[in-house]
Structure 1
Amino acid sequence: MVTVNWEREPGEKIEEFVAALLLLTHPHGNHITPSSGDRGVDVLVWNPDGYDIYQVKRYSRPLTSRQATMIEESWHTFVAQTLPALPVRSWTLVTPWNPSNERLDWLRGLTDGHDFPVHWMGGRTLDGMASQRPSLVDYYFGDGGERWHRLMAEALHAGRDTSPGSAGEDLLEAIIARHRSLTASLNEVDPFYRYELEIRAGHLRDHPFEADLRRHSPVAEVQYTQLDPEHFQVMRIVPLCAESTRLRPITTSLRLEVTTGSAEHQAVEEFRHFGAPIHAIPGTVTETTGPPGHDRGTGDGLFSIMPLASSDDLPDFEVRLVTANGAPLHTLDLVDVAVSRGISGPGMWLSGRDRSDVLQFKFYLNGPDGDEVRIQASSLAGKTPADVLPAIRMAADFVDGNGILLAVRGGRPLTSAWDVTDSALRANAQWHVTLLDALQAIQRHTYQRVTIPDVQTIPADDIETILRTGRLLRGERIETPWTEVTLTVVTPDRLPPTDAEFSFISEWPLTVRLGDREITVTAKRRVLYQAARVADPAESASAEPGATLRLLPGSTDQAVIVAVPVDPHNLATGTGGETPNSGR
């Protein structure tokens, strides 16, 4: 193992190595760059009860007066600029030199008068920490590349005994052994990243790449390799500390090739100005740098660039629809927020959806031609009416004079309002509001789950039945003309008169069809035929039980339909009949 000769190594490399040791020991710590003014702090580690502050100096020999003065300046800067701003739990001076008793007394005198402990971390402690991280020592002071190639060869050797003729269990064990060996070797050689490997069934063209980027793990890179027509490998490279990507950046130089004026050209321009994602753009990788396993060479291909989900330090967002005078009409929470920034200029792209995944909002901010919002609606099929109604009601009010704005949830607006006059989206939403209100009324009268049918495939008669059923369940009386009704004879002596018109009531279970499901509600459809007559009096005179009679309108062809509640435990499932009333 390579050891650290603190006295011979360049001071800049010593300071960076020691900072890396501390950051990997405290993965959530941050390195303060001198270019931004370190305020007497090199490494800052947050804890629930305060911050641990580390000041790293390269000194590997007894301090000179100049070096002592520089430490004193760093301490005074820390006291003046950092201590008033942060709750400090401890302050530690870190040097490769092990301090003498005289210098420890000097440090106590310098830092006396504060209520937090002060420490001096010397070379012995650093040697112990370095011995636990040989790959980090190799990276800074040894030949990490040579060690990487050796470990990779060992990993690949673990799979050489996998012969095509191996039995099923033996083959599986050999594959698992090779898989584990490769992962272990990657993790052993790389001091800044952890590697996760898995084999998945399927083809890359069918894989939703966004799903891997939206996991909670702070992944730095995900690589996909098609192994054969039915399997592909996923390698996730995960930073070991918050500063891994700064200590060992992952970079790719890419040249995109598009035709001026094409849709691909517009997408690349929006990526350049706002950081908006691009999909399947032809191009060439010209150079890659990064940790072991990252470099897969250069070459041509189709490239997609997708932003990560928003970080935890962003506020919650909402979208508001407001009137011309700023009065709020509708508010939707924005979830699955992704934020990106342009690579040239101050442009920013922010995307999110409402909680029901009906409306997708994409904001293009600070662009060369101003701000823009784009709204896209997704299918409602299979969703719950109550979930999607807030978004659909908002879209139904996309009329002249109303505007969309982005705001902190429950707080101040972040943008001015954009006029929204998407007539196609508005008209579609307004029609759906009526359908969804009907479905909600149906849900209130059934224990079966009501979901939105696919209106592109459901028959028009089924849609009309849903709308009419919703009206009835909300208490509406529907008047409609009729032309003929068939009456089934149950008791012949109770038949209506043949020489006069009469009124009668028909009751049937109230049902609707949602796609391939039939929903029965806790109500019956009652129809009052106000005036009817027997079409053929001779049929009535000879009617037997089970026979049918045709009834025609009398002096009026109007019928009144209402819904009447029934005990849900005594619902009929398909029976019905007519009750004639000869009192008229």
Structure 2
Amino acid sequence: MVEVAWPVIHATQVEQVIAVFLSREHPHALRITPSQGDKGLDVIVEQADSTYHNFQVKYFATNLNSSQKRQIKKSLASAISLHNDKDSDFDLSLWILTMPWNPTTQQLGWFRQIQTDLACPFSCEWRGLDYVNGLASKYPQVVDYHLGNDKSRLEQRIKDLENFQRLRALAGMPSADSTLVPQDLLTPLAEVVQAINRDDPHYQFSVEAGPYAPPAVSRPGLIASTTIGETQVGPFVTFHVYARYRHATDDRPLPLTIHLNEAALTEMDRAAWQDAIRFGSPVTLAPGSFTLDIDLPGGLGVTNGEGTLRLFASDLQAPQPGPVRWVIVGPASWSVIAEIEVQNGPATRGVAGGIEFEGIDSTGIMTTRTRATPNPNGTFNLNVTISLAPEQELIGLPVAQALQILRFIDAYKPGNRLAFGPRWEPIVRDSAQLIQIDAGSATALISFLTDLNLVSNECGAPASVPNWRELTRQEFLGVRNAARVLAGSTARLEVHESYIAELAKSDIEMLPKGEPVAVTMPTQFELKVAEQKFVLPFTEISFSRITIESSDQTSPDPDRGFIVFRPMEGCEITQSMPYGAEGDDSLE
């Protein structure tokens, strides 16, 4: 076991090294900066149940005095206060006092007593010298880097050298004696990769070699990639540098200086570069437009480097765990005109402090980009951009869902305001901002889909958005008239040459034949819209001036028959909901 002389090391250095140990043990741990007010939190690790374990790191390496005990009790009290705060995001399930000192029996009793005195609602542990030295043994490279441990690793270096020599020997094997195949490299190459990852406490490396330069892609934990090889010739060797834990770049910064060649940059290049600095957006710089100096670990640093530079988006965190309400209100009222839900993706942050995140609504029709620029007073200015997919993407969506996004787009125009709020909660009024652009209008399509949605609801049949550009005029009119009738209005129908109706034969016999009459009769229509069918409830259709003629068409029911209603000049035809019981198919 590695033993460190903790009592003679500076307090700040002790706490930093232990924090790095914990970060290596828990790569996703979040370290709270004390200067920002830790509120009893130090190194926190989120658990599967969304609670947190807090490692409270102290530098104490000798028998505790009364002042140190007060500090421990104060830290625990702060953590309890934060845990009990209903507005806090931190639900603690375990508080772990972590320091290079094993407790005595009396100190364990005192530790339990302060938990009782403070009515501590979560579990507490004391992890002392044995635990800390165990981490030092597990991560000796951390000790070497931060404390300058002089312990020699000569034996390991000799082994590493032997592995490199084996690789060189394999590469130089005469082809006449045997053929070198990839399988021959498996063991020595794996040992070499293991060797280059042994000693760096903050970063780890992977190696990629081949006749072609690999494409630059974003990978989890990737900090930088550098490819070495002769252009257009190869072979190429690429080293990928990965952070071992969340705070690696805090503990071992990677200074980067990029010198731009302004004369070689286009206006688009300059705008993309500014976005990268402000908001952490991805950017690509072409050869000749820059040189760079970067201090990478493992001897991979570059001075006056040239080539192609790709900076990927730096994921920060999701700005909202669930969908966000996007609400449009009037210029002076908080009455909702239209709203949708937007699911935001991970946010990025630029070195200038700006934050950017993209989102998409539930239909996939609208994508959003929100940029937050910090102000000196700690607030942010928001800039929202929306992009719309081609309207054909609406085809096949449920009508009610399509209407929601169309109404939102229709209301997104100067004069109205855009505000935000958590799902199912009131909008945040301070977030409201005047809309500066007009997103467009689809008034005719909204009107048609509103009518179709009414027909769908009244008929109890689901409706999806048809390809409205392929609908006939009669289909449009059929939906409009059906919606008017179902809403309680009267619809005027177009006059056709004739209407054929099936009635009871007893009713047919009572009808006057050959002379103009006015007739009102119940009927049930089947409305067809593209491939969708809607059976409407019984309605009344009235003819102001028609003649009635017999029909040669026969009914499968012997008690029923067909007649022809032939409108005369000046005939008006209307349709409305019946007054009285539905389902009565007898003539008035």
TM-score, structure 2 as length reference: 0.60
Alignment equivalent of 2:528, drawn from 495, 500, 511: 511
Alignment equivalent of 1:129, drawn from 135, 138, 142: 135
Deviation, 1:438, is 2.6
Quote the Cα distance in structure 2 between the aligned partners of 1:35 and 1:350.
28
The gaps in structure 1 that reach 5 residues or longer are 161-170, 198-203, 214-218, 227-234, 565-578
CA separation of 1:271/1:56 partners in 2, compared to 1, >3 Å: closer, same or farther?
same
Letter in 1 for 2:79: L
Alignment equivalent of 1:319, drawn from 299, 313, 326: 326
Deviation, 1:352, is 3.4
Alignment equivalent of 1:246, drawn from 241, 247, 250: 250
Between 26-35 and 491-500, the greater mean CA deviation after superposition: 491-500
Whether contact under 8 Å (2:412, 2:437) holds in the other structure is: yes
| SS in structure 1 of the partner of residue 396 of structure 2 | coil
CA separation of 1:300/1:115 partners in 2, compared to 1, >3 Å: closer, same or farther?
same
Q: Is structure 2 residue 401 aligned with structure 1 residue 387?
A: yes
Q: Is structure 2 residue 270 aligned with structure 1 residue 265?
A: yes
Deviation, 1:404, is 1.4
What aligned pairs does 1:214-253 form with structure 2 within 5 A after superposition? Answer: 219-221=220-222, 241-247=245-251
Deviation, 1:253, is 5.8
Quote the Cα distance in structure 1 between the aligned partners of 2:224 and 2:59.
36
| SS in structure 2 of the partner of residue 56 of structure 1 | coil
Alignment equivalent of 2:79, drawn from 79, 86, 89: 86
CA separation of 1:222/1:512 partners in 2, compared to 1, >3 Å: closer, same or farther?
farther
Quote the Cα distance in structure 2 between the aligned partners of 1:455 and 1:251.
58
What aligned pairs does 1:289-438 form with structure 2 within 5 A after superposition? Answer: 300-301=307-308, 303=310, 305-306=312-313, 308=315, 310-311=317-318, 317-329=324-336, 330-344=338-352, 347-366=354-373, 371-378=382-389, 379=391, 380-398=394-412, 401-407=415-421, 410=425, 413=428, 415=430, 417-420=432-435, 422-423=437-438, 425=440, 427-428=441-442, 430-438=443-451
Letter in 2 for 1:91: L
CA separation of 1:225/1:560 partners in 2, compared to 1, >3 Å: closer, same or farther?
farther
Quote the Cα distance in structure 1 between the aligned partners of 2:165 and 2:495.
86
Q: Name 1:500's counterpart in structure 2.
A: 515
Quote the Cα distance in structure 2 between the aligned partners of 1:238 and 1:17.
20
Quote the Cα distance in structure 1 between the aligned partners of 2:402 and 2:300.
43
Deviation, 1:332, is 4.0
Q: Name 2:121's counterpart in structure 1.
A: none
Letter in 2 for 1:114: I
Quote the Cα distance in structure 1 between the aligned partners of 2:446 and 2:162.
63
Deviation, 1:479, is 0.5
Q: Is structure 2 residue 483 aligned with structure 1 residue 444?
A: no
Quote the Cα distance in structure 1 between the aligned partners of 2:38 and 2:411.
52
Whether contact under 8 Å (2:57, 2:97) holds in the other structure is: yes
Q: Name 2:91's counterpart in structure 1.
A: none
| SS in structure 1 of the partner of residue 331 of structure 2 | coil
Q: Name 1:479's counterpart in structure 2.
A: 492
CA separation of 1:444/1:139 partners in 2, compared to 1, >3 Å: closer, same or farther?
farther
Q: Name 2:466's counterpart in structure 1.
A: 453
Deviation, 1:326, is 3.8
Quote the Cα distance in structure 1 between the aligned partners of 2:284 and 2:476.
39
Between 315-324 and 456-465, the greater mean CA deviation after superposition: 456-465
Quote the Cα distance in structure 2 between the aligned partners of 1:453 and 1:339.
36
Deviation, 1:553, is 3.4
CA separation of 1:559/1:352 partners in 2, compared to 1, >3 Å: closer, same or farther?
same
Quote the Cα distance in structure 1 between the aligned partners of 2:318 and 2:131.
35
What percent of counterpart residues are identical? 14
Deviation, 1:325, is 3.0
Aligned pair count reads 500
| SS in structure 2 of the partner of residue 128 of structure 1 | helix
Deviations 1:391-433 (A, max 9, x none): 43344334664311234553573645333364452x22x4343
| SS in structure 2 of the partner of residue 444 of structure 1 | helix
CA separation of 1:29/1:350 partners in 2, compared to 1, >3 Å: closer, same or farther?
closer
Whether contact under 8 Å (1:252, 1:289) holds in the other structure is: yes
Letter in 1 for 2:56: I
Quote the Cα distance in structure 1 between the aligned partners of 2:196 and 2:461.
52
CA separation of 1:431/1:422 partners in 2, compared to 1, >3 Å: closer, same or farther?
farther
Letter in 1 for 2:527: L
Whether contact under 8 Å (1:307, 1:338) holds in the other structure is: no
Deviation, 1:32, is 5.0
| SS in structure 2 of the partner of residue 85 of structure 1 | helix
Q: Is structure 2 residue 52 aligned with structure 1 residue 56?
A: no
CA separation of 1:424/1:362 partners in 2, compared to 1, >3 Å: closer, same or farther?
closer
Deviations 1:167-217 (A, max 9, x none): xxxx9x989x99x969995997576679999xxxxxx99x9x9xx99xxxx
Letter in 2 for 1:434: S
Quote the Cα distance in structure 2 between the aligned partners of 1:382 and 1:182.
56
Quote the Cα distance in structure 1 between the aligned partners of 2:473 and 2:466.
12
Whether contact under 8 Å (1:336, 1:353) holds in the other structure is: yes
Whether contact under 8 Å (2:348, 2:355) holds in the other structure is: yes
Between 462-471 and 42-51, the greater mean CA deviation after superposition: 42-51
Whether contact under 8 Å (1:152, 1:185) holds in the other structure is: no
Letter in 2 for 1:269: Q
Letter in 1 for 2:397: K
CA separation of 1:238/1:475 partners in 2, compared to 1, >3 Å: closer, same or farther?
farther
Letter in 1 for 2:78: A
Deviation, 1:554, is 0.9
Quote the Cα distance in structure 2 between the aligned partners of 1:470 and 1:151.
85
Deviations 1:243-297 (A, max 9, x none): 3453456776666778888355344434444x16356665668356667899999
Quote the Cα distance in structure 1 between the aligned partners of 2:411 and 2:41.
54
Deviation, 1:377, is 3.5
Quote the Cα distance in structure 2 between the aligned partners of 1:294 and 1:279.
22
Whether contact under 8 Å (2:203, 2:241) holds in the other structure is: yes
Alignment equivalent of 1:286, drawn from 292, 314, 327: 292
CA separation of 1:295/1:371 partners in 2, compared to 1, >3 Å: closer, same or farther?
same
Alignment equivalent of 1:556, drawn from 548, 556, 570: 570
Q: Is structure 2 residue 24 aligned with structure 1 residue 18?
A: no
What aligned pairs does 1:183-194 form with structure 2 within 5 A after superposition? Answer: 189=198
Quote the Cα distance in structure 1 between the aligned partners of 2:159 and 2:518.
94
Letter in 2 for 1:308: D
Letter in 1 for 2:428: P
CA separation of 1:132/1:395 partners in 2, compared to 1, >3 Å: closer, same or farther?
same
RMSD over aligned CA atoms reads: 6.2
Whether contact under 8 Å (1:30, 1:43) holds in the other structure is: yes
